Amino acid sequence: MLVGDNSDQRMNKIFNSVLLRVSVRNFVLIESFLTSLIPKADHKINFAKILIVQQPDFNNTEIAFRYKTTPELKRAHFLFSVFKYNWLVKWVPAIMTTALKSGLPVKGIIKQFGFRHFCGGETMDECDTTAKKLHDFGIGSILDYAAEGKGNAAELEFNKNQILKTIDKTAGNQTYPFAVFKPTGILSFEIMEKADAGIPLTNDDLNVFYEGKARVEAICLKAAQKRVRLFVDAEDSWIQKTVDDLAEEMMEKHNRSEVIVYNTLQMYRHDRLKFLELQIIKAREKGYKLGFKLVRGAYMEKERERAEKMGYPSPIHKDKAATDADYDAALGLCVENADIVSICCGSHNEDSSALLVKLMHEKGFANDDKRFWFAQLFGMSDHISFNLSQAGYNVAKYLPFGPIKTVLPYLSRRAQENTSVAGQASRELILIKRELKRRKVPQ
Ligand SMILES: Cc1cc2nc3c(=O)[nH]c(=O)nc-3n(C[C@H](O)[C@H](O)[C@H](O)COP(=O)(O)OP(=O)(O)OC[C@H]3O[C@@H](n4cnc5c(N)ncnc54)[C@H](O)[C@@H]3O)c2cc1C
């Protein structure tokens, strides 16, 4: 609601309709224009508060896709149209993996389609072109080395070095506002699983565990020294306690004057809200700050299947509404405790993004307050990222990179997320179609 000392209904109506479409960058111009129109004695409009009420318009596909040329958009249209065929999404990644292993020349095909849309490049430096393009529109990139779980010690060490390099590249570089690591990329899955289950670790196990912990410490120390904000991704619930303990230790150590380390909370777990409350109490007692990336969680089916198979209660909420309610409550709790908590809303959900905008406004926080970030994956939900950025919020995109064969499982997950549900086109496809229509491109 627009607030003005003596503003009348008619002026409110005009302002409300204009302000929904106003970017922060244009705000100053509009403010001086409106001021010149309004007789000062009658309408003492509080412009600072007007600025606060503006909500991004997630339906604006012109802003959402303005960094894409029409040929790029047409390629995206083709890609998401292919995802409509569930059987293709199911079989193609497996066929491509086998083909790559057998040395067949399929790399070009993968690169041309899924890879180019969802990844920054095969190497970190190849990501620069895309990252610069995003940065031109006020969006940061998060270099995400796409190595996934269960490697041997040499592989874990290699992954650690890749992450250290992303921290070097991120340091002092506004194009890259955060660094990130996936715990299973640098820690032994088997040892974490044993530790979480309370199975006593042998001396050999302990050696492996401490090697992994040393990798986490080295990464966090470097991030702190270089003042690089660092996300710790969340994974399977049956290794997450070990990850949480490490993340907490690192936050206590490095988040003293500013937030460096961010743990991730998967709000599809019914215990996470309580966990968040306890983390806040503990941090207040011990005098350190907290960082959290709030996500809903990516492994729901796997979690439920394992719980059923092994006969323990599922850690996942019973339905989507319960997950959504906890996600919203977590946003609220973090905003309430913003004196010590910084967050990143890692979501493709418009309502959650709009809710954080609203909560920030209610507290009077500036749109670009550094304690609040929004993040999406590259190649998805540009309507959220670009419209939030246009309205002056802090936005970043995960930009995965790595050799094609390393990135294939990631690409496969993106394809599965965008497959048709009951014959409906995915949301991405609908938005791309709408923008092509707006650009008057025949489909
Ligand atoms: C920047 C970024 C970082 C991410 N990092 C991580 C990470 O570290 N770890 C991780 O696990 N995921 C991560 N994700 C993925 C994330 O967890 C979600 O899978 C994904 O973003 C979809 O959720 P959503 O909030 O975008 O919105 P929506 O599309 O509204 O929600 C879909 C999600 O709701 C939940 N859900 C759906 N149906 C049900 C049901 N029947 N019962 C209960 N819950 C249900 C599931 O979590 C599902 O993924 C990340 C996503 C982003 C954008």
Q: How far, in Å, from the CA of 298 to the mean position of ligand 1?
A: 5
Q: Is the pLDDT of residue 261 over 90?
A: yes
The dihedral through the CA atoms of 198, 199, 203, 204 has a sign that is negative
Q: Is the pLDDT of residue 419 over 80?
A: no
Q: Is the pLDDT of residue 203 over 60?
A: yes
CB-ligand 1 contact for 323 (6 Å cutoff): yes
Q: 143: how many CB neighbours lie within 10 A of its CB? A: 26
CA–CA gap between residue 122 and residue 124 (Å, rounded): 7
Task: Determine the atom of ligand 1 nearest the C-alpha atom of 297.
Answer: 17
CA–CA gap between residue 321 and residue 374 (Å, rounded): 21
pLDDT tens, residue by residue, 371-390: 999 999 999 999 999 999 99
CB-ligand 1 contact for 273 (6 Å cutoff): no
Query: What residue's CA is closest to ligand 1, atom 2?
Result: 346
Candidate from 296, 324, 385 with most ligand 1 atoms within 8 A of CB, to mutate = 296
pLDDT tens, residue by residue, 92-119: 777 888 887 888 878 888 888 789 999 9
- The candidate with the shortest Cα–Cα distance to 280, out of 334, 229, 214, 321, is 334
pLDDT band at 220 (very low <50, low <70, confident <90, very high): very high
CB-ligand 1 contact for 292 (6 Å cutoff): no
Candidate from 295, 388, 414 with most ligand 1 atoms within 8 A of CB, to mutate = 295
- What's the mean per-residue pLDDT of the chain? 88
**Cβ atoms of 124 and 118 closer than 8 Å:** no
Which pLDDT value is given to residue 119? 96
pLDDT band at 423 (very low <50, low <70, confident <90, very high): low
* Measured CA distances, 363 to 53, 369, 409 (Å): 11, 12, 41
**143 bridge partner residues:** 179, 399
pLDDT band at 6 (very low <50, low <70, confident <90, very high): very low
Q: How far, in Å, from the CA of 56 to the mean position of ligand 1?
A: 22
Q: Is the pLDDT of residue 28 over 50?
A: no
Q: How far, in Å, from the CA of 345 to the mean position of ligand 1?
A: 11
CB-ligand 1 contact for 316 (6 Å cutoff): yes
Range of lowest pLDDT (133-142, 299-308, 411-420): 411-420
pLDDT band at 31 (very low <50, low <70, confident <90, very high): low
CA–CA gap between residue 65 and residue 214 (Å, rounded): 42
Considering the four listed CATH numbers 3.20.20.220, 1.10.40.50, 3.90.226.10, 3.40.50.2300, the one that applies to the domain covering 120-401 is: 3.20.20.220
CA–CA gap between residue 167 and residue 297 (Å, rounded): 25
**CB-count exposure of residue 185 (10 Å: 0-12, 13-18, 19+):** buried
Which pLDDT value is given to residue 8? 43
* Measured CA distances, 357 to 122, 264, 328 (Å): 35, 20, 12
Q: How many CA atoms lie within 13 A of 208 on its CB side?
A: 20
pLDDT tens, residue by residue, 139-189: 999 999 987 666 799 999 999 999 999 999 999 999 999 999 999 999 999
Range of lowest pLDDT (100-114, 265-279, 309-323): 100-114
Q: Using CA atoms in the order 283, 288, 289, 294, what is the torsion angle rounded to 10 degrees? A: -40
User: Which residues contact residue 317 at a Cβ distance below 8 angstroms, ignoring those fewer than 6 apart?
Assistant: 268, 269, 270, 323, 326
pLDDT band at 87 (very low <50, low <70, confident <90, very high): confident
**Cβ atoms of 151 and 159 closer than 8 Å:** yes
Q: How far, in Å, from the CA of 324 to the mean position of ligand 1?
A: 10
CB-ligand 1 contact for 120 (6 Å cutoff): no
Domain locations in the chain as residue ranges = 9-53, 120-401
Q: Is the pLDDT of residue 3 over 80?
A: no
Task: Determine the atom of ligand 1 nearest the C-alpha atom of 182.
Answer: 8
